[in-house]
Structure 1
């Protein structure tokens, strides 16, 4: 990363975890308004007063808790298969089925089985031995894609386009990123490009008031591409460091909506041929295998450059991130395991593998 300025993912999160924040996860403004309408003039004031701050567990503890359903499904199954006995072909078949059912993907499951067959076949093996192999192989798959989001100082503003289907937590993720970038001292603007939902527009406005970031929005039903064009122009004139662009959630099989997303990209490039500088696809872990097709379509139509996975704390299907990484090999910048701002953190392959293997 020599010669580049690292953004909040690599600097704020790379050396320390983000400060505790109030939670805003719902997509409806009524549910978030009570604790969200707070203007933050000074980024340093994003952290609550010390005497009022709740005691927080470490990020890894929260990650383990969030991946508890996924880990329990795997470790309980492994324990049931391996109780101090020799590794046999039938047992390996059952283990492969278990790994695939946990959404780790066929390729990763086969890799784990191959490793066990080479080193331990017809030998005594325990559940702990299998979990150790699981951790190692999962980490090997994830390590190449665990990359921080880098803000290149050559572009100002650095445009981050957020895409994804409805319900993934895309708008909330934008708000969390804005809070963390502002805490780093960056000048941030948000564009409410999801013009179909009044709730999404209002939610970004609330985040803007909380963080001191300007929000460019229009009326419900306004032309999204035109609004984004205006936001980009204003951001350049105002010397904004980072422009976060929200977009309407859309199913990957709706051609008309996907074409509108392509139009937003074309409009951005009228101002800056290199924009958007990052296209982040927000995925909901609870969707399981459907997330694989989302990555494929959004990558083709919007030029996805990186992934953020949310809601890992609400599913037993967290292994899908492994399957996605093995197949698509896109950078995974961050994962979310809760509602508060600091529950969205940069992705660490070793931590994830350790949590999912229950070690």
Structure 2
């Protein structure tokens, strides 16, 4: 029942993308009985419009052509099956991330992508999994960031360490690590830099935080999660590339997938950045930040309407 509920939420959250992508693919398959260049051109257009991205779309079409030629397929009967296999190959097989105890997750992302909300929901998820979670409010330059994170910490029922606005982010992380140790917390999630306008400052700030973690929490497993807003499509890819240059991003959280018809960006993120997608946001509820399941995602994306 739990798996069914998860899949139903995923299908529901991807409704706009599925209507945009799958319905058009279905119409294309129905219209073109035979596979020709026009068929590929129209499929390419559908994928690009769903924000799969030009580079990734080109790769999909290339793989599809090769498979069709290999199987000597003349009609479109198996196109959906082949497309599903290709997308599965692109989004990968990364399952749920195993976090040893203790672990620290540093969360980065520009303002407005849903970073604070994602952290709160992630805290709720890991707490429900039996982890003892603490939050650190180290994005100290955005007005009211720590207050917003405090609200989410209360909703999730986890403690938080924060300083005043404009405080040194590394000092917040230092205190959060000390508090996590004292309370016996095994997972510390820290909100960090929300600015991109000056990459040098971003890098220096995160390097400083990294040095604090090395010194004070050297035995902890470390992850750096980047939060991206799916509704921004290819702009999210551009943001991710800049952050990747600045820090060692180990995972992606894609928010607001339920609010866009361009959820194909999930495929582009994994294919172009080679960073695993760890969580996706498919709704407003506390449970609607879901661990990314590549197989379930592709199935939900290409599921035919009953």
Per the TM superposition, whether the score is higher than 0.5 is: yes
For 1:219, the equivalent position in structure 2 comes to 164
1:97 equivalenced with 2:97 (yes/no):
no
1:115 equivalenced with 2:64 (yes/no):
no
1:125 equivalenced with 2:76 (yes/no):
yes
For 1:242, the equivalent position in structure 2 comes to 187
Distance in structure 1 (CA, Å) of the matches to 2:204 and 2:247: 9
For 2:100, the equivalent position in structure 1 comes to 152
Relative to structure 1, the CA distance from residue 109 to residue 285 in structure 2 (aligned partners, 3 Å threshold; closer, same or farther) is farther
Once the two structures are superposed, what CA deviation does each residue of 1:263-299 show, in whole Å capped at 9, x if it has no partner? Answer: 2222222213465611111111111112223222323
1:181 equivalenced with 2:126 (yes/no):
yes
Distance in structure 2 (CA, Å) of the matches to 1:266 and 1:276: 14
For 1:67, the equivalent position in structure 2 comes to 14
Relative to structure 1, the CA distance from residue 186 to residue 62 in structure 2 (aligned partners, 3 Å threshold; closer, same or farther) is closer
**TM superposition shift of 1:171:** 1.0
1:140 pairs, out of 89, 104, 112, with 89
Number of residues of Structure 1 aligned to a counterpart in Structure 2: 299
**TM superposition shift of 1:72:** 1.8
TM-score normalised by L of structure 2: 0.88
Relative to structure 1, the CA distance from residue 243 to residue 131 in structure 2 (aligned partners, 3 Å threshold; closer, same or farther) is same
**TM superposition shift of 1:252:** 6.6
What is the RMSD of the two structures over their aligned residues, measured on CA atoms?
Answer: 2.3
Relative to structure 1, the CA distance from residue 335 to residue 189 in structure 2 (aligned partners, 3 Å threshold; closer, same or farther) is same
Equivalent position SS for 1:309: strand
Equivalent position SS for 1:280: strand
Distance in structure 2 (CA, Å) of the matches to 1:293 and 1:252: 13
Q: Select between 310-319 and 80-89 the one with higher mean Cα deviation.
A: 80-89
Distance in structure 2 (CA, Å) of the matches to 1:152 and 1:171: 23
**Contact 1:107-1:326 within 8 A present in 2 as well:** no
**Contact 2:96-2:293 within 8 A present in 1 as well:** no
Equivalent position SS for 2:253: strand
Distance in structure 2 (CA, Å) of the matches to 1:183 and 1:358: 29
2:213 pairs, out of 268, 278, 290, with 268
1:228 equivalenced with 2:176 (yes/no):
no
TM-score normalised by L of structure 1: 0.76
**TM superposition shift of 1:220:** 1.0
**Contact 1:313-1:338 within 8 A present in 2 as well:** yes
**Contact 1:188-1:213 within 8 A present in 2 as well:** yes
Q: Which runs of 5+ in 1 are unaligned?
A: 1-14, 18-56
Report which of the two has the higher share of helix: 2
Distance in structure 1 (CA, Å) of the matches to 2:238 and 2:195: 13
| Over 4 Å off, 4+ runs | none
